[in-house]
Amino acid sequence: MNTPNDLRYTASHEWVRVEADGTLTIGITDHAQEALGDVVFLELPEAGRSVAKEEAIAVIESVKAASDIYAPVAGEILEANQAAIDAPESVNTDAYAAWLFKIKPANPADVEGLLDAAGYEATIG
């Protein structure tokens, strides 16, 4: 299983990278893309939208099924990844390169509540 140590995670299979400026870059984990299978459509949030922690804010559709993606923390959407929207299969190719959106957290300390790599791997057994 590919679970980089330098990222944080949620039990709902998002990965979170804390950037130098305190903003967060978010995608779905390698385990999640493997479970979903071929990704064919992404519906991502608009920049400027305020989101609550664990709010369903995006949809990822594989050939098999549609799944929600949740905000790991409260904050404001800064940007959605147009390149991923244009090439949804990039999520399968490299789930950690194909980020989905960036969030400015309302409270930077909220990141401390997220899982680390070992904690995430424990949730998926």
Query: 4, 22, 38, 119: which one contacts other proteins (CB under 8 A)?
Result: 38
Site for other proteins in 82-111 (CB under 8 A): 92
* CB 68 to other proteins: min, Å: 10
The full length of the chain comes to: 125
Asked if 113 and 74 count as a contact pair (C-beta separation under 8 A), the reply is no
Query: 41, 97, 122, 123: which one contacts other proteins (CB under 8 A)?
Result: 41
Query: 52, 59, 97, 122: which one contacts other proteins (CB under 8 A)?
Result: 59
Query: 22, 46, 64, 119: which one contacts other proteins (CB under 8 A)?
Result: 64
Query: 1, 4, 22, 37: which one contacts other proteins (CB under 8 A)?
Result: 37
Q: Which of helix, strand or coil describes residue 124?
A: helix
Q: Does 119 bind other proteins (CB under 8 A)?
A: no
Of the candidates 82, 74, 94, the one whose C-alpha atom is nearest the C-alpha of residue 42 is: 82
Angle among Cα 28, 34, 40 to the nearest 5 degrees reads 75
Q: Does 1 bind other proteins (CB under 8 A)?
A: no
Asked if 46 and 77 count as a contact pair (C-beta separation under 8 A), the reply is yes
* CB 63 to other proteins: min, Å: 5
Asked if 75 and 54 count as a contact pair (C-beta separation under 8 A), the reply is no
